[in-house]
A and B are shown apart, each in its own frame.
Chain A
Amino acid sequence: MKLAVQLVEALCVFVVIFYLYCRSPAFQPLRLDRPRGRVRLYLVFTGIAVLGNYLGVPVVGGQAIVNARAVGSVLAGLLGGPVLGFLVGATAGIHRVTALTGIAALAGAISTTVEGVLAGLVHFALKRRPERLMTPWVAAATTFVGEVVHMVIVLYLSGPQSGDIVRAIGPPMVVANPVGAALFMLVVLERQREQDRVAAASSARALEVAERTLRLLGRGIDQRTAGELAAIIKEKTGVAAVGVTDTEHILGWAGMGADHHLPGGAISSPYTRQSIAENAVVFADGRRQSYNCTVSPGCQLASMVIAPLQVDGAVVGTVQLFEPRHRRFLNMNKSLGEGLAALLSSQLVIARYQEQKSLLVMSELKLAQAQVNPHFLFNALNTIIAILRRDPGRARELLIHLSNFFRKNLKRASDVSTLGEELEHVRAYLEIEKARFEGRIEVRTEVDPGLLSLRMPAFTLQPLVENAFKHGFSSTLGEGHATIRAFRDGSAAVVVVEDDAGAWQEPQERAGLGMQIVDKRVKNLYGEGWGLSVECVPQELTRVTVRLPAEGAAA
């Protein structure tokens, strides 16, 4: 009985040590999904098992030790499975045999290993139901059975003195070790519950932020929304300062340093630039690496986490959390910062999606308008009526072109068209315009025939040609020339519409809006790297270039 009390005392020392370890920063969540986590578990429980040898009470003249080794191997088996249980048991057993002496050493070593494997089998059996595996009762019962097996093995292997040994060590170990294992399991469980609580608290905060930012970010991110955003995040995380940037400027700032981290200021911190360039979370804990404000030498901020905001894989900005020199950067806030950036990114994606949806509605409307462009229609009819007097055959042809033009116009704006179809649409349009301006305009077409199947949004080409007419020919009194070209440029297909008037003006005008819509629709279909650009040499030429991926053309 005295031995049992001594063993319980030893176990209590143990549990205290283990408890302290669990509370220390060195403790990491029990992770079995990574090799490093397994190695860590192995080391911890081997440590416990070996310590169990030393904290034991030698009996029967030092031939045996009343020990708590089993606690280590059983817990390892329960938490990590048979392999880990085996390894911990075997290591501690080898230690028992080599470092300490006694007749019972070999039996102890074998039985510890057996107990590890036994616990591993329990782990295996209850793997699917962790809530039943991770209980003090299971730990106690497994240890109890394990220790009984231990005694049996000692009886068989320890020779003539085995009876004495079992009588000496059996009762205390069979009684005390299950209690110890249960206590260990309680500590582990408590630690896990606390982690869950922290995780729950930070997800609750993240969700609160999300709830408040969702409406804000519906308008996309700009200086107005960024300031509010920073204030919300600061309020909810409690960090000293929060910054929101795009890829070049500070958009919003809340908290410490707001006097010199001004919205609109250029990004100067190398950490921010690194985060943007690598699309990665950058952390400086304030000790090994610290944040050094490049704007003001008096800035107190020293530690930070910078997480990129991304839309479709491209970085559009960052969210930054800061703490000053005298305050530790909480791990929770670090992961919260990362989480928030991911969450805000997805909100931005939603905002962008909505913007694109309204853009599409707008372009539908614009195109619906174009479908009944009154000037074009009535001038065309007037021209045909005039030609009808002298040349009914030509008038008939023009009416057919006009029908073709309007038929193509009836296509839905959301349809995808091919370069060939677009060229037919343009040809119908050009036939009418040529008749209207008889001889004053000349349009050349140079198209790589391999690109005729190139896919693009419907109504890409015609608005560009119409624009060349509106702004090109309408500003010259003489003749107007235009060229439509399509060619390959590496992996890109390039479509160029060029006129010789050089009268392009920045898009305050409606035609400018038309061009923007063409650009956005191409980007919608193919992504940010593609789209439209305009060059203008005044009085000389205006060149509108559309770049599309050449895979859009079937080989």
Chain B
Amino acid sequence: VIRAVIVDDEPHARAELESLLQEMGAFEIVGRCANAVEAVHAIRGARPDVVFLDIQMPAIDGFELLSMIDDDELPEIVFVTAHDEHALRAFEERAIDYLLKPIARERLAKTVERLQRRRGAWPAAASLPRSPIRRIPCLAGKAIKLVDLAEVELVRSSEAGVYVITARGELFTELTLRVLEERAGLLRCHKQYLVNIDQVDEIRPDDEAGATIRTRSGKEAPVSRRFLPRLRERLEI
């Protein structure tokens, strides 16, 4: 059985694809997402084998979504779109297949074949450089908020999850520290902290070999001995 997540902002499109996949008999649907934020959550939570991903979606499109997922957690991608203007880019993003809506059963059967042939070769192919992240999708209560990178001061990870800290407060995000460090240009200062170098106000050495960062709005983060030299280098001190 292939575990699949469907991402599409149109409910009927999701329903139709789900029906088709179930008719194929080879799939278990483990997630149905209407936007990129739900998709990050489902991919990280359910660890599907394949994601059927619509490209044109509100706020964060399919390509941007891919850059928000850790390479280790990235499943096979099948793009599903109404128009083929994105086909080339889709394959550059190492998609295994590219389906056009409305989807014909026969065409979907070929996708299934490809997926099954590929199963032995999993885990997925080596990572490729992705487009940088410019906005971080966060949860503010039930609402989804897209936080501009420039506003971010710190990112903190704890057992409860990853939190983006801005001058106005903390917001929960599904993105991992590693993804944010690699693709959002945030700097690691501690095992559990990233800092936005543009928001650093001062660095105060501690008794031990570490230091403490204070941001423009007065938030603090520890700097461990290990990351201090690199931080110094970036700040040119």
Contacts and interface: CB of A to CB of B under 8 A. Distances in A.
B102 interface: yes
A382 interface: yes
B30 interface: no
Nearest to B9: A437
A378 B101 contact: yes
Interface in A369-384: 374-375, 377-379, 381-383
6 contacts: A375-B82, A378-B82, A386-B16, A437-B10, A474-B58, A478-B144
Contacts of B224: none
Assign chain B's interface to a size class.
20 to 34
B132 interface: no
Contacts of B101: 378-379, 381-382
Contacts of B56: 375, 474
Given A374-B83, A477-B37, A383 B12 contact: yes
Given A382-B102, A436-B10, 6 more contacts: A378-B102, A379-B82, A386-B19, A389-B19, A474-B59, A475-B58
A149 interface: no
B15 interface: yes
A476 B83 contact: no
| Interface hub of A374, A437, A477 (most chain B Cβ within 10 A) | A477
B16 A382 contact: yes
Contacts of B15: 386, 389
Interface string B1-23: 00000000111110110010000
B33 to A, nearest CB: 11
Given A374-B82, A436-B10, A385 B102 contact: yes
Contacts of B16: 382, 385-386, 389
B106 to A, nearest CB: 15
A375 B10 CA distance: 13
Contacts of B96: none
Interface string A440-480: 00000000000000000000000000000000011111100
A22 interface: no
Contacts of A214: none
A387 interface: yes
| Interface hub of B15, B56, B82, B143 (most chain A Cβ within 10 A) | B82
B13 A383 contact: yes
A379 B58 contact: no
Interface residues of A, number: 22
Contacts, number: 64
Nearest to A438: B11
Interface string B87-99: 0000000000000
A474 B54 CA distance: 13
B12 A382 contact: yes
B35 interface: yes
Interface of A is mostly: helix
A553 interface: no
Contacts of A377: 82
A142 to B, nearest CB: 89
B58 A387 contact: no
A386 B35 CA distance: 19
Contact of B10 (A379, A381, A475): A379
Which 4 residue pairs spanning A and B have beta carbons closest together? A386-B16, A386-B12, A378-B82, A382-B101
A476 B58 contact: yes
Interface in B53-68: 56, 58-59
Contacts of A477: 35, 37, 58-59, 144
Contacts of B59: 474-477
Nearest to A473: B58
B100 interface: yes
A206 interface: no
A267 interface: no
A387 B12 contact: yes
A375 B83 contact: yes
A475 B100 CA distance: 23
Nearest to A478: B143
Nearest to A436: B10
Contacts of A382: 10, 12-13, 16, 82, 101-103
A435 interface: yes
Contacts of B11: 437-438
Nearest to A374: B83
A383 B14 CA distance: 9
A284 B137 CA distance: 68
| Interface hub of A379, A385, A478 (most chain B Cβ within 10 A) | A379
A254 to B, nearest CB: 50
Contacts of B58: 473-477
A475 B58 CA distance: 5
A475 B135 CA distance: 13
Given A378-B101, A476-B59, A438 B83 contact: no
Nearest to B83: A374
Contacts of B35: 477
